[in-house]
Each structure stands twice: as structure tokens, then as C-alpha cells.
């Protein structure tokens, strides 16, 4: 079907339209209406509410601004404490986790590499299970806080525009308290059962180490009382500090030890008469099960099957049991031979030398020339050399001659200087009263400039 033509072909393209006389009137009415609208806008109080036509403007329904927001006095971009972009995350150090691993997502590698250890803490000392806090702003580090202990905290933040690390000490209040118990199985169990901890048990054992071998001399029914510093941080208990005095009572004897601050800033312990409890040598170089062979001029050698002198003491103990030096000295030998196996020899001044044989391995850092202190671990029990089982062959020499170590337990360390006896006796009177049941005075724990860690 053909489309109709767009126009009449018989009609010219341009033509003159017909006149419409009513069109002028319509235009005149529209102009008058526009003039009236303009007059109403100039005088809104005299007009009715306007009628909105179409959708509202997006801002038309917005709530009005408060005056302080409409006319802010500060910087619009200044962050406040309530800034939602700043957050604090709390976690604990996981096994094998390092400081770099914790901070890698929030610090650039170059800033992390430039971070220096503080003077009194190494980043490698982070311990598994210790709590830390990360304060972040837009996922970038603001502050890192790690709890070194209940009283110390590692802090990493910007100081003078540079990232820096430091150790901060929390304010710590120290009060003396008494811990007492009766031994049923072991000193450790008695101490922990009375509310103490492993460090306190070790400190008590150390005080009487020259007079008691806590691996075999402690018996059920023995008792102890100790005056111990208790620490508080922000009103909360934060562990124990120094043992100021202790009394140990067995069926055979009563031992007492009273602490006095020494020249090196640590407590040293004396009996009530000012005699040092710390002898020149400890009674034993390890915690052993039994003495399997003593000092003798003639013994049937268990391997060689010949009789020969045994100028030492054999202590039976499991492989890996720590072996410590019985006195201060210098390592003069660390070696191995077919008879003694792994051995360490320590010289104590000009007179005495001690020897430790059949070690399974040496303690870290022990080498010829190493200076060691009484009680320091130098190796571990083994069965190297001529040995039928794990044990320590311990020997002592006086001016080059072998002596019976079991007969040298009464050698004393240096006595308390006469100039300090008056100060010491005053402390003893107070501490002895506390050990006997009197309430401890607060002043006991407030000696300035002292080290409050367990000794």
C-alpha cells in the first residue's frame, strides 16, 4: 500500500496563513499573569503557600544544621578522640611471632628497619602469650604497646616526627606480706599452695642453698614463713617482689635469713648474728636423686673392673638435668676425653678448683675464660665417657690436691662488715617480729633506690 503524500502536491510550499484574531487576546492574558506572579514574589507575606510541582530538590528534606556546625570555630578536618577512623586492637603474641610480623601491615619496610631497640629491652625478647595493643588510624600505626611485665611496657610511637621505641614503667606500690605453709610433698608445692609462685620458691631455696639441699633434705612436716614484697599497679595485684626475710623449720633445726642491700644493689642474706648464709660453695652442683659413689681411695671401677681411687662424688640424675657451678670463678677448661666425656673445670680464686664430668652438653655461652657466678648453669647431666648411666662425677681440688667435696660444706663467705652491723641489727629486730606473727610495717617495702624483683 503506497504511503500518503507528505503534502498536497497541488499546494505551494510556502503559503500565507489565515489570520486568527483571538490569538492576540491570549497573549495579552499571559503577560498579565506573569506580571502578577512577579509582584507576589516581591511580597511573600501577602501570598498564599506556594504549590510545589514535581519532585523535591535533594537537599529540600535535609535537617537543619546546628549553629556550631553551621559556623565551626575549629578546623573542619581536625581529628578528635571520637574519630571513628582511629581504633585500638588488643591481642597476644603468638608462638614464633616477631615484632616485624606484628607491625608489617601497618609500617613500611624502611621505617620498620630503621626502628632501634630501646636501651633496656630487645625486640627479640617478645614472649609468647604476652598482651599487646595496636592503635591505628586509617590502618596506619599510631601506637604499639607491649606488656613486658606487670610494671613495664614497651611503647612504639612517633617522637619528634620520628618513630621510636622506649620502655615505660607503670607506677608500682609495694607492700610487705607474709607467706607461710607446711610442707607436704615439696617446697614448690608448699609455696604455690600458699599463694606464692615458682620464682618465690626458687628465691627461698637460694637463700638456704648452702645449708639445705632442697632435692633431698626437705621432709613432710617442715614449715616456712617468709616476709615478701607484694606489688600493686593501679590498685591491682601485680605479683611479688623481693623476699625480705625467711625462716625454715625442720625436725632437726631452724634456719633464718635476713636480707640486707649489698654493694651491687641486690639483697644478701645473713643469719641473726650477721654471718652470711651464702657459703663459698653450695652443698651440691645439681638437684640429684642419690649419691651413687662417694670420695674414696679405692673403688672397683664399673667399666674397667679394676680397683683405683675415686676422688670425686657421683650424683645420679636424669639426662639433661642442669648442672651449676658451686661457687664464683672462671672456666679454665671446656673439653672432652675418652674417660671424662664432656667436662668443665672452674677455678675459684687461688685455692680451689672444681671439675664436672660426663656432661651431655654444655650450657650456652660456656667457654674457656668465661666468668661464672655461684649457681650458674654450666652444663647438663649425661653419660659421655666412661659411664654406665646418666650421672655427674663432681670433683674438688684444694691447692692441686683432691678433697672430699661432701666435707667442705661449712666454708664461709665474707662476713658482714662491722660498719653495717648497726643498720642490720635494726632490720633484724623488725623482720624477726614479723616472722613471729606481728603485722609488717609499711616502711619495710619502701627503701629507696632498691631492686624490687625477686632475688
The least confident of 72-86, 182-196, 254-268, 370-384 is 72-86
Strand partners of residue 205: none
Q: Predicted confidence band at 247 (pLDDT cuts at 50, 70, 90)?
A: very high
Question: Of 62-71, 275-284, 293-302, 407-416, which has the strongest mean pLDDT?
Answer: 275-284
The least confident of 87-96, 151-160, 173-182, 430-439 is 151-160
pLDDT surpasses 90 at 35 = no
For the CA atoms of the chain, what is the radius of gyration? Answer: 43
Mean pLDDT over 194-209 rounds to 87
Q: Predicted confidence band at 450 (pLDDT cuts at 50, 70, 90)?
A: very low
Q: What is the DSSP string of 263-316?
A: TTSSEEEE-TTS-BSS-SS-S-SS--SEEEE--EEEEE-TTT-SEEEE-SEEEE
The per-residue pLDDT for range 149-171, each reduced to its tens digit, is 877 889 998 877 788 888 887 77
Residue 150 · residue 199 · CB < 8 Å: no
Q: Predicted confidence band at 291 (pLDDT cuts at 50, 70, 90)?
A: low
Q: Predicted confidence band at 119 (pLDDT cuts at 50, 70, 90)?
A: confident
Q: Predicted confidence band at 76 (pLDDT cuts at 50, 70, 90)?
A: very low
Percent of residues, the chain, with pLDDT higher than 90: 21
Q: Predicted confidence band at 261 (pLDDT cuts at 50, 70, 90)?
A: confident
How far, in Å, CA of 116 to CA of 109, rounded? 14
Q: How many CB atoms lie within 10 A of CB 440?
A: 21
pLDDT surpasses 70 at 382 = yes
Higher pLDDT, 259 or 29: 259
How far, in Å, CA of 268 to CA of 145, rounded? 35
Residue 104 · residue 60 · CB < 8 Å: no
Residue 314 · residue 340 · CB < 8 Å: no
Q: Which three cell numbers stand for residue 381?
A: 647431666
The per-residue pLDDT for range 80-98, each reduced to its tens digit, is 555 557 788 889 999 888 8
**Please, what is the Cα angle at 18 between 17 and 22, to 5 degrees?**
125
Amino acid at each position: 500500500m503506497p504511503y500518503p503524500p507528505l503534502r498536497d502536491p497541488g499546494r505551494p510550499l510556502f503559503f500565507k496563513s489565515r489570520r486568527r484574531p483571538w490569538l492576540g487576546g491570549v497573549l495579552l492574558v499571559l503577560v498579565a499573569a506573569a506580571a502578577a506572579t512577579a509582584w507576589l514574589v516581591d511580597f511573600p507575606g501577602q501570598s498564599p503557600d506556594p504549590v510545589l510541582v514535581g519532585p523535591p530538590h535533594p537537599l529540600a528534606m535535609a535537617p537543619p544544621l546546628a549553629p556550631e556546625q553551621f559556623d565551626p570555630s575549629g578546623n573542619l578536618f581536625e581529628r578528635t578522640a571520637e574519630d571513628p577512623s582511629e581504633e585500638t586492637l588488643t591481642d597476644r603474641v603468638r608462638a614464633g611471632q616477631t615484632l616485624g610480623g606484628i607491625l608489617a601491615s601497618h609500617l613500611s619496610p624502611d621505617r620498620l628497619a630503621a626502628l632501634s631497640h630501646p636501651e633496656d629491652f630487645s625486640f627479640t625478647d617478645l614472649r609468647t602469650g604476652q598482651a599487646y595493643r595496636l592503635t591505628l588510624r586509617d590502618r596506619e600505626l599510631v601506637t604499639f604497646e607491649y606488656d613486658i611485665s606487670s610494671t613495664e611496657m614497651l611503647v612504639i610511637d612517633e617522637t619528634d616526627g620520628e618513630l621510636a621505641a622506649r620502655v615505660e614503667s607503670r607506677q608500682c606500690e609495694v607492700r610487705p606480706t607474709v607467706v607461710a605453709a607446711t610442707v607436704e610433698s615439696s617446697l614448690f608445692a608448699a609455696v604455690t599452695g600458699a599463694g606464692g609462685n615458682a620464682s618465690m620458691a626458687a628465691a627461698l631455696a637460694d637463700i638456704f642453698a648452702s645449708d639445705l639441699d632442697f632435692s633431698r633434705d626437705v621432709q613432710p612436716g617442715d614449715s616456712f614463713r617468709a616476709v615478701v614484697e607484694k606489688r600493686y599497679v593501679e590498685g591491682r595485684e601485680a605479683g611479688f617482689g623481693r623476699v625480705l626475710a625467711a625462716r625454715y623449720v625442720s625436725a632437726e633445726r631452724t634456719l633464718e635469713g635476713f636480707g640486707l642491700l649489698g654493694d651491687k644493689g641486690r639483697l644478701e642474706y645473713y643469719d641473726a648474728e650477721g654471718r652470711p648464709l651464702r657459703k663459698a660453695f653450695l652443698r651440691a652442683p645439681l638437684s640429684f636423686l642419690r649419691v651413687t659413689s662417694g670420695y674414696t681411695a679405692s673403688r672397683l671401677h664399673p667399666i674397667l673392673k679394676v680397683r683405683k681411687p675415686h676422688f670425686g662424688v657421683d650424683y645420679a640424675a636424669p639426662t639433661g638435668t642442669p648442672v651449676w657451678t658451686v661457687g664464683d670463678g672462671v672456666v679454665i677448661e671446656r673439653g672432652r676425653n675418652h674417660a671424662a666425656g664432656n667436662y668443665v673445670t672452674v677455678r675459684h680464686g687461688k685455692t680451689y678448683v672444681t671439675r664436672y664430668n660426663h656432661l651431655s652438653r654444655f650450657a650456652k655461652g660456656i667457654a674457656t675464660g668465661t666468668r661464672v657466678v655461684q649457681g650458674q648453669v654450666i652444663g647438663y647431666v649425661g653419660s659421655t665417657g666412661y659411664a654406665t648411666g646418666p650421672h655427674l662425677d663432681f670433683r674438688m681440688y684444694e691447692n692441686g690436691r683432691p678433697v672430699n667435696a661432701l666435707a667442705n660444706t661449712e666454708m664461709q663467705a665474707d662476713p658482714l662488715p662491722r660498719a653495717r652491723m648497726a643498720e642490720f641489727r635494726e632490720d633484724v629486730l623488725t623482720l624477726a617480729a614479723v616472722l613471729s606473727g606481728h603485722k609488717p610495717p609499711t616502711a619495710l617495702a619502701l627503701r629507696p633506690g632498691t631492686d624490687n624483683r625477686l632475688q
